[in-house]
């Protein structure tokens, strides 16, 4: 009996010591939770897989390009925060995180960036960190530094990626009717950040905006490749702090405002602004959207 009591006593002492050491280790490693609970819903998510599509089941398809203007009220959660904070990123910062990986080690991330100079068919990947940063306006520039006693002097300044210049994002997508599911659906193919900035000497150049404002496509990313990253990062929800949607939710569920700028055409490169401007361009964009909607509507009789 005494031997059994001694064994139970030793087990309880050793167990309490082990529990105490684990508790101390846990308390030293964990930081205070900034909220009501530890967030696990979004950070551990995986994107919902696409339904399979057979070529024989696609009766109709139309490829369109649309622009998301990040300055619109509905799209502001994609533009802010302009500087990464806590677990929140803007859309362009998150894309660059996936493309560049850990900056400085010379190894790119898991998301491939493709050149936007030639086409939008994901043919020419950008092979180095410098190539990616160059498309985002990084580099050196010469500025004049005022002197208290003497003329200003020139000095070279190193610029990082100009993420604040990304005011629009182009979306390449395909609308299609799948007879297997008997519904019209859409599949996003790629995303392309568009920089908008003022360039000196461009005031009178054809194609530049008022005051020398230039719009330039940075690079393309293949959307299915970036979905894993998007699914694990949340977007601010102005209506409910406890229900944050992921970036993948925003695009898959179409929680963004946009307008069509191009549809597949016989010229293969003609945008709406190439053949009409102003109010007519807006009406042409709406006409293409209505054509897509009407195609599905005409399939059924009510």
Between CA 89 and CA 111 the distance in angstroms is 16
pLDDT for residue 19: 44
- Alpha helices by DSSP H, listed for the chain, are 2-29, 76-79, 91-100, 129-135, 223-231, 247-252, 279-297
What percent of the chain has a predicted confidence (pLDDT) above 70? 84
Q: Residue 298 has what DSSP assignment?
A: T
pLDDT for residue 118: 82
The two tokens of residue 38 are 């530890």
Q: Measuring CA to CA, which residue among 259, 263, 222, 256 is closest to residue 110?
A: 222
Between CA 133 and CA 139 the distance in angstroms is 8
Res. 9: pLDDT tops 90: no
Residue 111: partners with Cβ closer than 8 Å, 6 or more residues away: 95, 98, 99, 221, 225, 226, 229
pLDDT for residue 202: 56
pLDDT band at 129 (very low <50, low <70, confident <90, very high): very high
pLDDT for residue 59: 92
Res. 115: pLDDT tops 50: yes
Cα separations (Å) of 25 from 12, 18, 30, 40, 175? 20, 11, 9, 21, 53
Cis (ω within 30 of 0) for the bond into 81? yes
What average pLDDT score do residues 291-296 get?
89
pLDDT for residue 211: 63
Res. 112: pLDDT tops 70: yes
Between CA 114 and CA 11 the distance in angstroms is 62
Cα separations (Å) of 48 from 54, 177, 252, 253? 19, 20, 9, 11
**Phi, psi dihedrals of residue 115, rounded to the nearest 5°:** -60, 140
103 or 14, which is more confident: 103
pLDDT band at 27 (very low <50, low <70, confident <90, very high): very low
Q: Residue 77 has what DSSP assignment?
A: H
23 or 46, which is more confident: 46
- Residue 54 near residue 180 (C-beta atoms within 8 A): yes
Q: Measuring CA to CA, which residue among 176, 171, 172 is closest to residue 54?
A: 176
Between CA 94 and CA 232 the distance in angstroms is 11
The per-residue pLDDT for range 59-97, each reduced to its tens digit, is: 999 999 999 999 999 999 999 999 988 788 999 999 999
Q: Residue 184 has what DSSP assignment?
A: E
pLDDT for residue 25: 39
Cα separations (Å) of 138 from 43, 145, 159, 182, 218? 30, 20, 5, 48, 11
The per-residue pLDDT for range 147-186, each reduced to its tens digit, is: 888 788 888 888 889 999 999 999 999 999 999 988 899 9
- Name the average pLDDT for the chain: 85
Between CA 12 and CA 9 the distance in angstroms is 5
Between CA 284 and CA 261 the distance in angstroms is 9
pLDDT band at 3 (very low <50, low <70, confident <90, very high): low
Answer left, alpha or beta for residue 154, where phi above 0 means left and psi between -120 and 50 means alpha: beta
Res. 34: pLDDT tops 50: yes
The per-residue pLDDT for range 212-271, each reduced to its tens digit, is: 789 999 999 999 999 999 999 999 988 888 888 999 999 999 999 999 999 998 887 789
Res. 107: pLDDT tops 60: yes
pLDDT for residue 26: 41
Between CA 234 and CA 94 the distance in angstroms is 11
pLDDT band at 41 (very low <50, low <70, confident <90, very high): low
């Amino acid at each position: 009996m005494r031997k059994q009591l001694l064994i139970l006593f030793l087990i309880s002492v050793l167990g309490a010591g082990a529990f105490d050491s684990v508790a101390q280790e846990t308390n030293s490693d964990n930081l205070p939770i900034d909220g009501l609970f530890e967030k696990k819903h979004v950070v551990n998510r995986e994107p919902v897989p696409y339904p399979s599509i057979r070529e024989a089941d696609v009766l109709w398809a139309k490829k369109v390009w649309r622009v998301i203007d990040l300055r619109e009220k509905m799209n502001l959660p994609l533009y802010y925060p302009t500087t990464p904070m806590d677990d929140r990123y803007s859309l362009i910062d998150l894309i660059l995180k996936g493309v560049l990986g850990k900056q400085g080690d010379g190894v790119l991330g898991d998301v491939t960036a493709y050149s936007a100079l030639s086409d939008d068919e994901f043919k020419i990947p950008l092979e180095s960190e410098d190539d990616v940063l160059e498309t985002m306006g990084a580099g050196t520039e010469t500025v004049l530094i005022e002197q208290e006693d003497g003329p200003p002097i020139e000095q070279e300044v190193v610029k990082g990626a100009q993420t604040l210049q990304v005011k629009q994002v182009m979306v390449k997508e395909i609308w299609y009717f799948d007879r297997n599911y008997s519904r019209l659906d859409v599949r996003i193919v790629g995303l392309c950040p568009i920089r908008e900035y003022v360039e000196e000497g461009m005031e009178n150049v054809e194609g530049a905006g008022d005051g020398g404002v230039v719009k330039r496509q940075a690079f393309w990313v293949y959307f299915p490749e970036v979905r894993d990253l998007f699914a694990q990062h949340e977007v601010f929800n102005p209506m409910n702090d406890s229900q944050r949607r992921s970036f993948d939710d925003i695009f898959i569920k179409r929680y963004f405002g946009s307008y069509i700028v191009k549809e597949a055409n016989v010229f293969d490169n003609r945008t709406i602004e190439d053949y009409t401007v102003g109010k007519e361009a807006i009406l042409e964009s709406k006409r293409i959207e209505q054509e897509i909607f009407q195609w599905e509507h005409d399939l059924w009789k009510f």
